[in-house]
């Protein structure tokens, strides 16, 4: 149940239309909670029906039918309650770790290229995050809001750092392995 709260957070930061939200989910918020425009429109409908947000009357009625939403008091209350709510930590569920385990059973043929590709992508992501950090948080921020945003960004940086390190380790291990698996049944 995180998507509605992601949207409430985004709308509190700045009232927006569906497409604007989608774009913001492709940027800052989407770095740790991604969503497609279909999900967002569906959820906006639900939130409006639940009385947590409302559509603003269009400022320029003639120019297109863009709908801007803003958060109602009930929505802010819901978000405040959610921040303090007890929820179990999300367990790890990563396909790449699973593939590594599968490679232990059927052999690592072809996995190396995929590991390299992932390593490049994570390195790029890490650079992007550190770039944002340098630009937006050159010093420890004073404002509570900025401190928490910085904390979230540092979380992203540390996660990407983990992946880069782990993938390098994985590559080193896979590189010095035989291509073919010593098969028990078929080839042995």
Partner DNA sequence: CGGCGCATGTAACAAGTTACATGATTTG
Partner DNA sequence: CAAATCATGTAACTTGTTACATGCGCCG
Q: Which residues bind DNA (CB under 7 A)?
A: 1-3, 17-20, 34-39, 41-42, 44-45, 62-67, 93
Shortest spacing between CB 135 and a copy of itself, in angstroms: 18
Plot region of 107 (φ>0 → left; ψ -120 to 50 → alpha; else → beta) = left
Residue from 49, 92, 139, 187 binding a copy of itself (CB under 8 A): 92
Q: In whole angstroms, what is the distance from residue 34 CA to residue 30 CA? A: 4
Shortest spacing between CB 13 and DNA, in angstroms: 17
* Under rule CB under 8 A, residue 117 binds a copy of itself: yes
Q: In whole angstroms, what is the distance from residue 167 CA to residue 124 CA? A: 14
Q: Which helix (H) or strand (E) holds 45?
A: helix 37-49
Which is closer to DNA, CB of 36 or CB of 80? Answer: 36
Which is closer to a copy of itself, CB of 42 or CB of 149? Answer: 149
Q: Measure the CA angle with vertex 29, ends 12 and 72; round to 5°.
A: 20
Q: Which residues contact 12 (CB under 8 A, 6 or more apart)?
A: 71, 75, 76, 79
Shortest spacing between CB 127 and a copy of itself, in angstroms: 15
Residue from 36, 50, 173, 175 binding a copy of itself (CB under 8 A): 173
Give which of DNA, a copy of itself, none residue 173 binds (C-beta under 5 to 8 Å, depending on kind).
a copy of itself
Shortest spacing between CB 64 and DNA, in angstroms: 4
On the 0-12 / 13-18 / 19+ scale of CB atoms within 10 A, 52 is buried
Tokens for 147, please give them: 């401190």
Residue from 45, 97, 116, 131 binding a copy of itself (CB under 8 A): 97
Which is closer to DNA, CB of 42 or CB of 128? Answer: 42
């Amino acid at each position: 149940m995180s998507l509605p709260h992601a949207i409430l957070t985004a709308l509190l930061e700045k009232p927006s239309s569906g497409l604007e939200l989608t774009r913001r989910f492709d940027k800052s918020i989407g770095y740790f909670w991604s969503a497609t425009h279909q999900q967002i429109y569906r959820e906006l409908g639900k939130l409006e029906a639940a009385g947590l947000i409302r559509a603003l009357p269009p400022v320029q009625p003639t120019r297109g039918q863009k709908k801007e939403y803003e958060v109602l008091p009930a929505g802010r209350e819901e978000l405040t309650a959610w921040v303090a709510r007890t929820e179990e930590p999300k367990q790890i569920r990563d396909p790449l770790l699973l593939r590594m385990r599968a490679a232990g059973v059927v052999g690592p043929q072809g996995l190396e290229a995929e590991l390299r590709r992932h390593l490049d992508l994570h390195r790029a992501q890490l650079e992007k995050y550190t770039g944002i950090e340098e630009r937006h948080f050159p010093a420890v921020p004073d404002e509570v809001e900025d401190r928490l945003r910085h904390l979230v960004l540092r979380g992203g940086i540390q996660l990407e750092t983990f992946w880069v390190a782990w993938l390098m380790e994985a590559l080193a291990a896979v590189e010095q392995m035989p291509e073919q698996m010593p098969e028990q049944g078929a080839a042995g």
